[in-house]
Amino acid sequence: MSNLLSYFKSSIGKKQIVAVTGLMLILFIVGHLAGNLIFYLGPEAFNKYAKKLSDLRPGFYVVEFGLLVVFVVHMTLTASIVLENIKSRTVNYNVKKSSNQRSLSTRLMPFTGTILIAFVVWHLLDFTFTDKHGDASVLQDGMSYGLYGVVYNAFTDPIHSGLYIIAMFSLGFHLNHGIQSFAQTFGFSSPTYTPLIKNISQWTAIVITLSFSSIPVYVLIQFLSS
C-alpha cells in the first residue's frame, strides 16, 4: 500500500496520472465533437440528440460526476506540478536561451489549460445551465428552436464566436503537446514511432480545433448572408 502511496507522491506518478486523466479528457472531447457535428444536420436532429443525452439522466449524472472528478484531478495535479517546478529553480538566469526544442504548445501548457477551465465554466453557463426554450432559443422566424436556437443565436454574435474559437485554439495547442507528451510519460519512445506520434498529435489537434471552430463560422456566415 505504501508502494502505491509513494507512486502518487512521486514526480513520475503524478505525471502519469495527469497523462491518464488527459487521455480521458481527450476521449470526452472526441465524443463531444461528434455530438456537435450533428448541428449540421439541422435543428431537429440536434435537439433530438440533446434530448437523448438528457433522457439518460439520472444515470448520466454518474458519468458527468466522473468527468468532473477527472477534470479536477488533472487540474490540481498540474497546478501542483507547475508550482513545484517554479520552486525548483530558486534563482533565475539572467540570460536564458531555448534550444528551440520547446514548441510554443509546450511552453503554453499552463496557460492553455487555464483558458480551457475558464472556457468550461463559461460554456456550461452558456449552453447547459440555461433556459433552452426562452427568448434565447427564438430564431428570426419567431419560433423557438430549443438548444439549436440557443447555440445559433449565441454564435451570431462575432465576439461570442470569437471567444469560442480562441478557446478551441487553446484546446488545439494543449492537445498538440498533450498527445505526444502522453506517449513519453507512459514510456513509449522509439526512433520509428516517436516522430509518427508527434505527427498524429499535431493532426489530431488541428482536426479537433478546426471541426469545433467550424460551427460558429458556419453560423456567422449563414447569419451575415441572410
Partner 1 sequence: MKNTIELTLKVWRQKISEDKGKFETYEVKDIDTSMSFLEMLDVLNEKLTLEGDEPIAFDHDCREGVCGMCGAIVNGEAHGPQKATTLCQLHMRKFKNKDTVVIEPWRAKGFPVIKDLVVDRGSFDRIIAAGGYISVKTGSAPEANNQPIKHENAELAFDAAACIGCGACVAACPNASAMLFTSAKISHLNLLPQGQLEAKERVVQMVEKMDEEGFGNCSNEYECEAACPKEISVSNIARMNREYRDAKFSV
Binding site for partner 1 (CB under 8 A): 3-4, 6-7, 9-16, 81, 84-85, 87-102, 106-107, 109, 177, 180-181, 183-191, 194
Three-state SS for 17-37 is: HHHHHHHHHHHHHHHHHHHHH
Q: How many residues does the chain have?
A: 226
Q: Is 194 in the site for ligand HEM (CB under 6 A)?
A: no
Task: Pick the piece of the chain touching ligand HEM (CB under 6 A) from 14-22, 39-47, 137-145, 157-165.
Answer: 14-22
Q: Which is nearer to partner 1, 32 or 102 (CB)?
A: 102
Q: Name residue 79's amino acid.
A: A
Q: Which is nearer to partner 1, 50 or 183 (CB)?
A: 183
User: Which of 47, 181, 202, 209: binder of ligand HEM (CB under 6 A)?
Assistant: 181
Alpha helices for the chain (secondary structure H) = 2-9, 11-37, 43-55, 59-87, 104-123, 146-156, 158-186, 193-225
Question: Under the rule (CB under 6 A), what is the footprint of ligand HEM?
Answer: 15, 18-19, 22-23, 25-26, 29, 74-75, 78, 81-82, 109-110, 113-114, 116-117, 171, 174, 178-179, 181-182, 185
